Structure 1
Amino acid sequence: MNSFQLWPLSLFLSLLINPSVQIEDNQIPSLCSGQPGIPGSPGGHGSPGQPGRDGRDGRDAAPGEKGAKGDVGEPGLSGVRGDRGDQGDPGVKGERGQPGECAVAPKSAFSAKLSETKSGPPPVGEAVRFETVLLNEQGHYDPETGRFTCRVPGVYYFAVHATVYRASLQFDLMKNGHIEASYFQYYGNWPKPASLSGGSLLHLVPSDQVWIQMGLGEYNGFYSSQKTDSTFSGFLVYSDWKNSAVFA
């Protein structure tokens, strides 16, 4: 056996005897001249490590700059009512206005009767003068002429009550010289007085005049005494003026 064959054996014995002896890889003589081995399979992933320690709190930094304005959003749904906003503060009380004019409803009314008949029947074609005034607060009726003169435009009602005695009677309700209505009572030889009444609505404007006039000379039976009267009356039903006021 040659020395080359005995060297591995002696090396093996020395390792057994003194295991603390270490031999570096590059000092071990090659025992064979074979090809490199096949690489081993990759090892598996290791287990996750322990969480790291919490970092220290950072210092407060200055506020960042304001970002750019975003794009306009899409329109909301049609017909959907939004939430009601907060109630605003009461406004400042305005100045007090000027006092308005006091509205007074216009008035016009009269009533008059014949005086006792002593001078014969009223003449034909003239206004019958009802001389004894019963009511004429506004002075729109003139007992001297027997005519009513309109001062307030509107609709009026005129009424006549005549006592007829020992004659027929026919009279007309006149407006500005035109006959508006006619009334007639025939005398039938009655021993006592009879009556004839009539009335009509007329629309008047200021300065219009209304009166009673005898129609025919033979029908002139107007009568008045202490026991019976003949009267002429009229009053305003409603005015044409929207803003009523006091009129003379």
Structure 2
Amino acid sequence: MAILSVFLLLQLAFIWQSTAQTQNTCTKGETGIPGTPGHPGYNGVPGRDGRDGHPGADGKPGPKGDKGEMGIKGEPGLPGPPSVSVSSPSDAMEMKKTQHSAFTVRANFQGTPPVNSPIRFGYEVYNPDKHYNPYTGIFVCRVPGVYYFTYHILVSGKGVTSYLYHNNRVIMTTRDTYSSPDVDTACGGTIIHLLLGDTVWLQVNREEEDGVFNGSTFTGFLLYPD
């Protein structure tokens, strides 16, 4: 029995020694074939919105635009008074007595009038001779002589500076500073000598001072002819 145990122990020792030698003599194996790439992953969660950027600087002015088309043709002017033959001084005096020119017109527009152009008083209170044209806002002298012009401007919302023109020349200026909430009045009047074809009109030249209100009036009449 003892001999058998010794024999088994020797045999086990021999097997262990053989295994150890075999392990010490092993060599590195060859590199394996690369594996197949995996499938693409799922899309990630969208990120948060970025912050607003700073406002950009103002761009440079663009090039000058093309010249606009010619405006429509204006309306024909009013016919002049018929000529009268004068044979004597008494006939001349009678002719002067029959000559007349007078008008009163009232503003009926909404808002304020355009600047740098005649104010068009569209409602004709009295204008039998049609020497004042409500479409242009201009009075045209058809009877030479001495005239009186007056105006009453209702001022509301902002101040007004009105200009009375005679042949493109300012002959009177009236200014009123608006005081809320009342409606102010800017008035003016003058006597002037007019020749045939002379023009007279009212105008405002600045948007800050164009507070002409609906109901303002403009009047002119002949005092005596030449």
**Would you say same fold, with TM above 0.5?**
yes
> What 5-or-longer segments of structure 1 have no aligned partner?
1-99, 241-248
Question: How far is the alpha carbon of 1:187 from its aligned partner?
Answer: 1.5
Partners of 1:164 and 1:187 in 2: how far apart? 7
Q: Which runs of 5+ in 2 are unaligned?
A: 1-89
Q: Map of 1:21-170 to 2, 5 A cutoff?
A: 103-104=94-95, 105=97, 106-115=99-108, 117-118=109-110, 120-170=111-161
Look up the match of 1:51.
none
**What CA distance in whole angstroms lies between the structure 2 residues aligned with 1:208 and 1:128?**
17
The residue number in structure 2 matching 1:239 is 225
- Report deviation, 1:151: 0.8
**Per-residue Cα deviation, 1:53-92 (whole angstroms, up to 9, x for no partner):** xxxxxxxxxxxxxxxxxxxxxxxxxxxxxxxxxxxxxxxx
Report how far residue 138 of structure 1 moved: 1.2
| Aligned equivalent of 1:187 | 178
Whether 1:206 aligns to 2:199 is: no
Aligned length: 135
Deviations 1:183-239 (A, max 9, x none): 000123x21211111111111000000000103220011111xxxx20000000111
- Fraction of identical pairs, as percent: 37
Amino acid of the residue matched to residue 235 of structure 1? F
The answer for the alignment partner of 1:95 in structure 2 is none
TM-score (norm 1): 0.52
Higher Cα Rg: structure 1 or 2?
A: 1
After superposition, the CA RMSD in angstroms is 1.7
DSSP 3-state at the match of 2:185: strand
